[in-house]
């Protein structure tokens, strides 16, 4: 099971390029909600006349603004990953009930998860986009949840950032759904939640660096060649996981 946690983290890390497309705009919106510092002004007194000197030097944001930026980003991702954990717990519990009630073997669920991992690799590589159909399954629920965003926008407080992150965690996403199949095969709600926690942590490097204007990682993740390498790696690992699950079944 430790390998499952690590694998979920790697899936989140390697699939972050997709996260930048789905969640990058929301992450950027968090930081744009903070007021930018105004140009610094120097005032001097010459007789009865105030002379205003607007400097051309770049201004460093004050400590309060830095804390605000960090806090908004932190609370957003806490909410987002918290939603992943909740969904993972629900799916993991469902898998455990199915295993106990109808005798569905855990290895069978693991084989199902391995197949989705292969589909995820094909999806990231842009070779086969069947996961678009899977994403459409969540659009019904999202149509009810998305209007709630108006209550947390503009994002100008930690509470609103937490609310937006919690809401955004339910956004239909093939990457998330593929990882949820691992939660389904985990056999318990706790393991299902922990798998999604590790996945969420894996997505953090790309989204957090984007929040603070560091674009080098984004350029790497959306690079076509890099995406192909990642896609092939996921496909190979999915095939390996499928072989292991098949051997456990028979």
Angle, helix 63-101 to helix 106-124, in steps of 10 degrees: 140
DSSP string, 114-175: HHHHHHHHHHHTTS--THHHHHHTTHHHHHHHGGGGGGT-S--SHHHHHHHHHHHTTS--HH
Choose the weakest-confidence range: 2-16, 56-70, 120-134, 141-155: 56-70
**Residue 250 neighbours by CB distance under 10 Å:** 5
Whether this prediction's pTM lies above 0.85 is answered by no
pLDDT in tens, 30-39: 666 554 444 4
pLDDT in tens, 143-199: 888 899 888 888 888 999 999 999 989 988 888 998 999 999 988 999 999 999 999
Residue with tokens 């790696």: 233
**Which SS3 state, helix, strand or coil, does residue 49 take?**
strand
Residue with tokens 């292969």: 118
Measured CA to CA, the distance from residue 81 to residue 224 in angstroms comes to 27
Is the CB of residue 33 less than 8 Å from the CB of residue 68? no
């Amino acid at each position: 099971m430790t390998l499952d946690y690590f694998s979920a983290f790697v899936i989140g890390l390697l699939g972050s390029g997709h996260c930048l497309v789905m969640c990058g705009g929301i992450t950027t919106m968090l930081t744009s909600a903070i007021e930018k510092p105004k140009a610094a002004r120097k005032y001097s007194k010459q007789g009865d006349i105030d002379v205003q000197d607007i400097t051309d030097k770049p201004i460093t944001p004050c400590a309060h603004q830095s804390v605000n930026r960090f806090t908004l980003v932190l609370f957003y991702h806490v909410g987002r990953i918290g939603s992943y954990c909740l969904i993972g717990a629900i799916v993991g519990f469902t898998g455990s009930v199915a295993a106990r009630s109808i005798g569905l073997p855990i290895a069978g669920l693991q084989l199902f998860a391995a197949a989705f991992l292969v589909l995820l690799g094909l999806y990231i590589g842009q070779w086969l986009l069947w996961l678009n159909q899977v994403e459409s399954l969540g659009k019904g629920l999202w149509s009810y949840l998305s209007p709630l965003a108006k209550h947390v926008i503009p994002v100008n407080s930690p509470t609103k950032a937490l609310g937006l992150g919690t809401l955004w965690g339910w956004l239909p996403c093939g990457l998330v759904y593929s990882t949820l199949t691992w939660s389904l095969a985990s056999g318990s709600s706790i393991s299902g939640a922990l798998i999604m926690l590790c996945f969420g942590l894996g997505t953090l490097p790309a989204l957090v660096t984007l929040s603070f204007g560091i674009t080098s990682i984004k350029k790497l993740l959306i690079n076509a060649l890099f995406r192909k390498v990642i896609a092939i790696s996921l496909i190979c690992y999915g095939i390996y996981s499928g072989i292991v699950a098949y051997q456990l079944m028979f």
